[in-house]
């Protein structure tokens, strides 16, 4: 079960790329935790077991990387949480084993962790993020963030300090985002922190009009509005104070955002949640809800991933497969696993969705091992 899937829109079917023992022409594992497309259009897969692969879509060839060789005997495996390309290196964060770095030229694999000669600030990392100034950000579960330029070895460690009101809001960081004004927004367990680019944060919490302190997702739409998804609703604003949305949504546990544009150029903001999908217009007014009670019901209201693709909205469900919603007419096509159909989706738990420039859609699932 599980694996990597390539959807062909012309044929309306999938090519399954599933792991098979001792077969290097396939993924190493069917448990794909994260997926990333680099500037050279290579697809990188990070697995639940801490290994990773590179896939060349044009050649149809995999390269596999076993990370356990860098670990002490008996070490626990830790899943790959995010992937990014920086200065000819692939950076892969993990939940427990620090960072793996791959030199794309020499193919040398190394590890940076808290026990290194120059210690990493945490081994439990949630995200690697490259900003528009080519600074690299690392977010953690337990120790805030680090930011800097690796080639200059000038990282700064930024964390929450109870005695400093302008320090990071909390040390558990869920999400980092940069807006068109080049501001860095950091979603934490205790609110959102906006970095001033120098030495201070401006923090906002439920006391300042957030719907909940736990910030799970951040998104800027094409008009410059910022959308912040929390554990209990969402807020939006061009500048603070924020406008609340905690009623009328499919669910208040917000998993992500996407933007679509219909054939008549109508812009919509879509909110993925653990109770369905909510459609808002460009002014933030709720237009439509897709959940278990709506006229058009979802196969599974637990929407885990979402991507806008012009007038199409792709969404992945925890156990309902992949959905494709046509924003022009509201129709939904579903793609799910059928054990008797080799060109169906390999597994119904969809974690990642990547529409590419050729019109194909890459889908990662979490099933299997």
DSSP 3-state assignment of 79? Answer: coil
- In Å, how far are 1, 47, 155, 311, 344 from 57, measured between CA atoms? 21, 18, 35, 25, 19
Residue 17: the pLDDT is: 87
Question: What is the 8-class DSSP label of residue 246?
Answer: -
Give the pTM: 0.88
The verdict on residue 194 lying in a domain is no
Residues ≥6 apart with Cβ < 8 Å to 278: 248, 249, 250, 270, 271, 286, 288, 289, 290
Q: Using 50, 70 and 90 to split pLDDT, how confident is the model at 73?
A: confident
- Whether the predicted pLDDT of 311 surpasses 50: yes
What pLDDT, on a 0 to 100 scale, did the predictor assign at position 28?
94
The predicted-structure confidence for 199-210, as pLDDT tens digits, reads as follows 789 999 988 878
Q: Are 328 and 311 in contact (CB under 8 A)?
A: yes
Is the pLDDT assigned to residue 360 strictly greater than 70? Answer: yes
* Residue 188 confidence (pLDDT) above 90: yes
Give the pLDDT score at 369.
36
| 48-58 mean pLDDT | 94
pLDDT of residue 200: 87
Residue 275 lies in a domain: yes
Strand partners, 254: 273
Q: How many angstroms separate the CA atoms of 240 and 253, rounded? A: 22
Q: How many domains does the chain have?
A: 1
Give residue-wise pLDDT tens across range 208-249.
878 899 999 999 999 888 899 988 877 776 566 567 776 789
Q: What is the mean pLDDT of the chain?
A: 91
- For the domain that residue 332 is a member of, what is the CATH number? 2.130.10.10
Give me the pLDDT at residue 240, please.
Answer: 60
Average pLDDT for 12-19 = 88
Residue 293 confidence (pLDDT) above 60: yes
Is 141 within the bounds of a domain?
no
Q: State how far the Cα of 99 lies from the Cα of 138, in Å rounded to an integer.
A: 10
The answer to whether residue 322 sits within a structural domain is yes
Residue 244 covered by a domain: no
| 88 domain residue, yes or no | no
For range 96-104, the mean pLDDT: 97
70 three-class SS: helix
Between 323 and 209, residue with greater pLDDT: 323
Residue 192 has pLDDT above 70, yes or no: yes
Whether the predicted pLDDT of 282 surpasses 90: no
**Is the pLDDT assigned to residue 132 strictly greater than 80?**
yes
pLDDT higher at 342 or 95: 95
- pLDDT score, position 367: 63
Give yes or no for a contact between 270 and 308, defined as CB atoms under 8 angstroms apart.
yes
Mean pLDDT of 52-58: 93
Given this model, what pLDDT does residue 134 score? 94
| DSSP reduced 3-state for 205 | coil
Tell me what the mean pLDDT of segment 81-94 comes to: 96
Report if residue 47 sits inside a domain: no
Task: Residue 305: give the domain boundaries.
Answer: 1-24+254-369
3-class secondary structure, 364: strand
Residue 280 in any domain: the answer is yes
Q: What is the pLDDT of residue 368?
A: 42
Cis peptide leading into residue 241 (ω within 30°): yes
Across 172-195, average pLDDT = 95
* pLDDT value at 85 more than 70: yes
């Amino acid at each position: 079960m599980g694996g990597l899937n390539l959807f062909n829109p012309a044929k309306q079917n999938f090519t399954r790329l599933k792991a098979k023992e001792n077969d290097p022409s396939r993924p190493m594992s069917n448990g794909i935790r994260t997926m990333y497309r680099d500037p050279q259009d290579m697809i990188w897969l990070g697995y639940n077991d801490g290994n990773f692969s590179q896939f060349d879509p044009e050649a149809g060839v995999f390269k596999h990387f076993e990370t356990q060789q860098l670990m002490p005997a008996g070490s626990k495996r830790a899943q790959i949480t995010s992937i990014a390309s920086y200065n000819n290196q692939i950076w892969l964060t993990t939940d427990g084993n620090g960072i793996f770095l791959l030199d794309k030229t020499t193919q040398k694999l190394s590890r940076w962790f808290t026990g290194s000669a120059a210690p990493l600030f945490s081994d439990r990392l949630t995200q690697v993020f490259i900003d528009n100034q080519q600074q690299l950000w690392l977010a953690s579960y337990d120790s805030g963030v680090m930011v800097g330029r690796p080639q200059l070895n000038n990282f700064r460690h930024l964390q929450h300090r109870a005695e400093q009101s302008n320090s990071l809001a909390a040390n558990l960081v869920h999400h980092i985002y940069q807006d068109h004004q080049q501001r860095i927004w950091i979603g934490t367990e205790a609110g959102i922190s906006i970095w001033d680019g120098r030495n201070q944060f401006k923090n906002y919490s439920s006391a300042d009009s957030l719907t909940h302190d736990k910030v799970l997702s951040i998104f800027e739409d094409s008009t410059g509005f910022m959308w912040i998804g929390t554990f209990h609703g969402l807020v939006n604003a061009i500048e603070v104070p924020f406008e609340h949305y905690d009623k009328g949504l499919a669910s208040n546990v917000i998993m992500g955002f996407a933007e679509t544009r219909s054939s008549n150029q109508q812009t919509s903001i879509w909110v993925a949640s653990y109770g369905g999908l909510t459609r808002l217009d460009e002014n933030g007014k709720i237009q439509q809800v897709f959940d278990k009670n709506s006229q058009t019901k979802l196969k599974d209201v637990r929407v885990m991933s979402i991507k806008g693709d012009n007038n199409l909205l792709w969404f992945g469900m925890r156990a309902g497969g992949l959905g494709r919603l046509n924003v022009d007419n509201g129709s939904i096509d579903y793609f799910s696993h059928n054990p008797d159909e080799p060109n169906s989706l390999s597994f119904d738990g969809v974690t990642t969705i990547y529409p590419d420039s050729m019109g194909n859609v890459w889908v990662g699932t979490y099933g299997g091992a």
